[in-house]
Amino acid sequence: MLWKTADYAGWGRALTATGELARPERRSALDALLQDGLVPAIGMRRSYGDAALNDGGRVIDMTRLDRMLGFDPATGILDVEAGARVGEIAAAFAPKGWLPAVMPGTGFATVGGCIGQDVHGKNHHHAGSFCEHVVSLTLLTAKGAVEVSREKTPELFRATAGGLGQTGVIVSARLRLLPCKGDVMVVTERRVEDWDEHIALLDASEATYTVGWIDATATGAALGRGILEEGETGSGLVPKRVRYRKVPFDAPKFALAGPIVRAFNAAYYRRVPASGRTVVKPISDFFFPLDKIHDWNRLYGKRGFHQFQCVVPLSSAPALRDMLDEIASSGLASPLAVLKRMGPGRAGFLSFPMEGYTLAVDFPNRAEARELIRRLKSLCVDAGGRIYFAKDSLARGTDIPAMYPDLAAWQAEVAKADPDGALITDLVRRLSLRSVA
Amino acid sequence: MNSTWIILGATSAMARAFARAVSANGAAVLLAGRDKDDLAALAADCRLRGARLAEAVEFDARKPKGFAALIARMEAEEGELNAAVFVGSMPEQAAIDADPSLIDGVVTDSHTGPARFLQMLAPVMEARGGGTVVGVASVAGDRGRIGNYVYGSAKAGFATYLSGLRNRLTRAGGHVVTVKPGFVDTAMTWGLPGMFLVAAPDAVASDILNAVRKKRNTIYTPFFWRYIMLIIRHIPEPIFKKMKI
């Protein structure tokens, strides 16, 4: 059977779709599926909202087209199919001294998904975004297979990088890997007492990989407290073995209630000694800490959750502090909250990054939380920032042009690549991204 | 690890997962099947995952003329020779009812084709004094059911063949693992109604590799299918013949 009808969801599980899915296991099967026209391609559905959903329509699940096709050690360029997962590439190549140049917070993200969202990692301030390391990619468009690169097709490349899959089906890509010392991470963790220290330490950090965990329930003088993690790759050290666990059922509502989260966060903060510490971790443990717990999204129960992630310019740090203040005093935040400094690197018209600070916080899917996220969104727009399509499930179309000034350029290119709108997904529909104003 | 695996039916999802797993241990893999482009992609993938050598070779269960060349290709490799058989075909029972001649193809793909290949390989393995054969049979072969008894009977025949081959190769220091998978998440089961507890191909591959290491004789994967099939095999025939499962 080629097409099966199923209910499926984004990672946050707050938004769902019902439609037909096909999952080709070889290239010839993919070509056959696309003979009668383009169909949106999806990967592991690690985008939180509706980027990988097409309610009432069809999607192609690319996860079985996941082969590594070639590697040139002289240039570090890996040719890989779009369904391959970033974590698999890291596991295969770290022992040989190479890593994907940019890795998002989950190793389950596919190469195609990383391109479609132009994702960033803990090294964005040095390495830039994912697509800045894409040398070229093979795209199936309405006109057939196209080789897309910065040099040959600059506009199509910029429309595809972070382009939410709207220019065609990404089949494979050539990625420039980054040399690394080995397959372990040497991580320095230290407590950060408040917001000002957090910002100061992020600004001063010279580490290759830097990320701050924020206790989004701490208020008053402790607002913005957390743990700063700085990492470098290393070799010859033996980290503890990672144990994989699975969340077997949907957690009850009280699992992430205010007092529990506050108690958890306080303990998590004190886990790191006041004097700080340096630990050795497996690569996967540092980059993909939550991948150890399969299906952790079920902790939020049946109704799912939302993640709010925005980036604001450097000069708007005070506005970001106000947003955190509002989050902390709401008592709605979950333990997952991250603060990072971003560099200017971005590869596409709709890429998320800008030089500044990015804050990401998870909230259970409740009316108060949705209301709070809407307020945060307008604060973000006022601060000259933008929200991240990979995480969003609540924004409206009218919010977007102010955040993404290159929207019109993207629309023009997408209209050429997919004139019939065959690739439109729920996210693109919800935000009217392709309706020219 | 100086071992070589020939993987028959290497384009299937289970075979791909198994090929990757033995590649990560540094084995040489000969990927045998009909879709050359797909096998070439898999060969590249296996090399990048650590295979000492990965090569796409042509195998069609219905064309035994090509078997000798494959055996010769294996003999060219030094060290331990192993084979894993993932071939088989399962047309819908309704299609077979409409055209009974389809039975020949099913039996060739799932039983006599690979058995003939293994029969040619057996003396070579005996001469080398070791090696393992992994044969993928099916829980469908444990009892004939109205839904797929032609496929089931072919796999039952293959399982019996494997049991005899085990008897033979054990004397020469070799081993045979019979694998009976339940529902596995592959193109064959995609969208079929009535699927439950569907296993990922990676999990099945890791079960198989464990069975090879521990020299297990017959495994069910996932493990609980042993108990499901134990029950199904013990339903008295007067009752079973009226059931539709």
Q: Map residue B49 onto helix, strand or coil.
A: coil
Asked whether residue B245 is assigned to any structural domain, the reply reads no
Task: Say which CATH number the domain at B161 has.
Answer: 3.40.50.720
Q: Which residue of A has its CA nearest to B43?
A: A69
Q: What is the ipTM of this complex?
A: 0.92
For helices B201-213 and B13-24, the axis angle rounded to 10 degrees is 50
| DSSP annotation string for A193-249 | -SHHHHHHHHHH--SSEEEEEE-TT--GGGTT-EEEEEEEEE-S--PPPPPPEE--S
Q: Which residue of B has its CA nearest to A27?
A: B38
- DSSP code of A161? T
Dump pLDDT digits (tens) for B162-203. 999 999 999 999 999 999 999 999 998 898 888 888 999 999
Would the pLDDT of B1 be above 60? no
A312 with A380: CB under 8 angstroms?
A: yes
What are the φ and ψ backbone dihedral angles of A197, each rounded to 5 degrees?
A: -65, -35
B200 with B216: CB under 8 angstroms?
A: no
Asked whether residue B76 is assigned to any structural domain, the reply reads yes
Dump pLDDT digits (tens) for B100-128. 999 999 999 999 999 999 999 999 999 99
CB pairs under 8 A between A and B: 49
Which range marks the domain in which residue B140 is found?
Answer: 3-240
From the CB of residue A360, how many other CB atoms can be counted at a distance below 10 Å?
20
Positive or negative: CA dihedral B3, B6, B10, B13: negative
Task: Report the domain count for chain B.
Answer: 1
The residue whose two tokens read 């450097």 is: A314
Domain layout of chain A by residue ranges: 4-61, 68-181, 184-400
Asked whether residue B87 is assigned to any structural domain, the reply reads yes
Q: What is the pLDDT of residue A240?
A: 67
A331 with A258: CB under 8 angstroms?
A: yes
Give B-chain residues touching A22 at CB under 8 angstroms: 190
Tokens matching residue A27: 């290239």
Interfacial residues of B (vs A; Cβ cutoff 8 Å) = 11, 13, 35, 37-38, 41-42, 44-45, 48-50, 186-187, 190-192
A281 touches chain B (CB under 8 A): no
Give B-chain residues touching A92 at CB under 8 angstroms: 48-50
* Average pLDDT for A142-155: 94
CATH 1.10.10.10 is held by the domain A68-181: no
Dump pLDDT digits (tens) for A307-324. 999 999 999 999 999 999
* A114, A221, B5 from A87: Cα distances, Å: 12, 39, 26
A77 touches chain B (CB under 8 A): no
- Helix (H) / strand (E) element for B41: namely helix B36-48
* Average pLDDT for A70-80: 97
Fold of A4-61: 3.30.43
- DSSP code of A254? G
Specify the range with the lowest mean pLDDT, choosing from A274-283, B14-23, B118-127: A274-283
Q: Which residue of B has its CA nearest to A89?
A: B49
| DSSP annotation string for A285-313 | HHH-GGGGEETGGGGG-TT-EEEEEEEEE
Dump pLDDT digits (tens) for A227-259. 999 999 988 777 666 677 777 778 877 777 788
Asked whether residue B226 is assigned to any structural domain, the reply reads yes
From the CB of residue A324, how many other CB atoms can be counted at a distance below 10 Å?
24
Q: Do B41 and A27 touch (CB under 8 A)?
A: yes
Dump pLDDT digits (tens) for B51-70. 999 999 999 999 999 999 99
- DSSP code of A207? S
Asked whether residue B222 is assigned to any structural domain, the reply reads yes
- DSSP code of A67? -
B49, B50, B187 ranked by CB distance to A25: nearest:
B187
* Average pLDDT for A411-429: 96
pLDDT-derived band at A299, boundaries 50, 70, 90: confident
- CATH number of this structure's domain A184-400: 3.40.462.10
The residue whose two tokens read 């000798």 is: B68
Give B-chain residues touching A67 at CB under 8 angstroms: 41-42, 44-45
A4 touches chain B (CB under 8 A): yes
In angstroms, rounded to a whole number, what is the distance separating the alpha carbons of residues A383 and A376? 10
Contacts of A257 (CB under 8 A, 6+ apart): none
Q: Residue A191 forms beta bridges with which residues? A: A227
pLDDT-derived band at A98, boundaries 50, 70, 90: very high
Give A-chain residues touching B45 at CB under 8 angstroms: 67-69
* Average pLDDT for B232-236: 94
In percent, how much of chain A has pLDDT > 70?
Answer: 99
Contacts of A271 (CB under 8 A, 6+ apart): none
Q: What is the pLDDT of residue A177?
A: 97
Q: Map residue A17 onto helix, strand or coil.
A: strand
Q: Which residue of B has its CA nearest to A30?
A: B38
For helices B13-24 and B36-48, the axis angle rounded to 10 degrees is 30
In angstroms, rounded to a whole number, what is the distance separating the alpha carbons of residues A104 and A348? 17
- Site from B25, B36, B190 to mutate, A interface, most A CB atoms within 10 angstroms: B190
A81 touches chain B (CB under 8 A): yes
Q: Residue B239 forms beta bridges with which residues? A: none
CA A306 to centroid of chain Cα atoms: 13
Asked whether residue B48 is assigned to any structural domain, the reply reads yes
